[in-house]
Amino acid sequence: MATRQLGAKKLRVLPGFRLTLGFTLFYLGLIVLIPLAAVFWKTTELSWGEFWHVATMPTAMASYRLTFGASFCAALVNAFFGLIVAWVLVRYDFFGKRIMDALVDLPFALPTAVAGITLAILYSKNGWIGRFFTHTNASGQLESVFTSSRLGVFIALTFIGLPFIVRTVQPVLEDLDPELEEAAASLGANRWQVFWRVIFPMISPALLTGFALAFARALGEYGSVIFIAGNIPMKTQITPVLIMQELDEFYYAKATALAVVLLVVSFLLLLAINVLQWWSNRHDTHNLA
């Protein structure tokens, strides 16, 4: 305990509480909170009707559908493969395991612009992967199915969301109590039943948290998507690109209205993730008891 009771006055053994907390709040306020407040202040320049008009204009609606749809699909695919990757990394031994484990964080460490141009060329009609998935487009030319398509957006969002599920599920799998599985097996459950009825319920909060984190990250993603997506309005334009486009044309109020929509969704997701983490922590202590 850093505090001890001395009469009515609390004395702290460790120094620097006011200084460090004060600086923390000052810095956060200056760098994060005040500028963020500017977004909400700027939207007040629009009336409610104008805000609604901008936030629901056809290009915006199309961008939400693409952004949310592709982010959801990417997070779902990552949930499936991420679970397998985490499982394999925790439970099995194979050649190159340490390197693969380290590489999982690559999408965190690789700048989004680098990821963006790499995926765009890799999945283009002459790229190492794209050449196997070509079709003839409307103007009669051979084109990769990923170039300037929703599929390309999905590929980019899958790449950047990859580490989230692996890194949230991996520690939970490592900490699982072997006794529970042994008990289930000795009571006659087969391996699939043990996984589905014993292991899966215990890792599902982590899986859901990882899914929400990957989804939230994908919603705001910009750099890795723009090169492969082609940014065609109504078709392959994600919401952050639409915001960027409005900004380039100096429609600040419009850009801000779209930003507020995205921010509100992000905040709701952040809240959901916190509730999930609280729930999974409670779940953990419950298991230990």
Partner 1 sequence: MTPAATTFHTPPAARRHSRTEPPAVRRLLIGVALVFLALFLVIPLVFVFAQAFAKGIGYYFTTLRDPNAVSAIKLTLLTAGIAVPLNCFFGVCAAWAIAKFDFPGKNILLTLIDLPFSISPVIAGLIYVLVFGAQGWFGSWFSDHDIHIIFAVPGIVLATIFVTVPFVARELIPLMQAQGRSEEEAARVLGASGWQTFWRVTIPNIKWGLIYGVILCNARAMGEFGAVSVVSGHIRGQTNTIPLHIEALYDDYNFAGAFAMASVLAFLALITLALKTWVEYKNAALNETK
- What is the rounded CA–CA span in Å between residue 256 and residue 2? 45
In the window 140-199, what residues touch partner 1 (CB under 8 A)? 158-159, 162, 177-179, 181-182, 185-186, 191
Residue 117 near partner 1 by CB under 8 A: yes
Whole-number Å distance between alpha carbons of 141 and 148: 14
| Residue showing tokens 């394999």 | 88
CA distance 231 to 266: 22
- In the complex, minimum distance from the CB of residue 224 to partner 1, in angstroms, rounded to a whole number: 9
Selected binder of partner 1 within 53, 244, 283, 284 (CB under 8 A): 244
Using CB under 8 A, pick the residue from 6, 8, 14, 138 that binds partner 1: 14
- Smallest distance, partner 1 to C-beta of residue 61, A: 18
- 89 is an interface residue for partner 1 by CB under 8 A: yes
Report the C-alpha gap between 42 and 257 in whole angstroms. 8
Q: Does 24 bind partner 1 (CB under 8 A)?
A: yes
**Shortest distance, position 15 Cβ to partner 1, whole Å:** 4
Min dist CB 173 to partner 1, Å, is 12
| Torsion sign over Cα 35, 38, 40, 42 | negative
**Least distance (Å) from partner 1 to the CB of residue 267?**
7
- x/- contact string, 42-61, with partner 1 (CB under 8 A)? x-------------------
Strand, helix or coil for residue 56:
coil
Quick one: tokens of 199? Answer: 């292991």
Please give the angle made by the CA atoms of 121, 216 and 200, to the nearest 5 degrees: 100
**Considering only residues 189-228, where is the footprint of partner 1 by CB under 8 A?**
191, 216, 219-223, 227
Q: What is the CA radius of gyration of the chain?
A: 24
How many chain residues touch partner 1 (CB under 8 A)?
97
Report in angstroms how near the CB of residue 229 gets to partner 1 at its nearest: 14
Q: Quick one: residue 114, left, alpha or beta (phi over 0 = left, psi -120 to 50 = alpha)? A: alpha
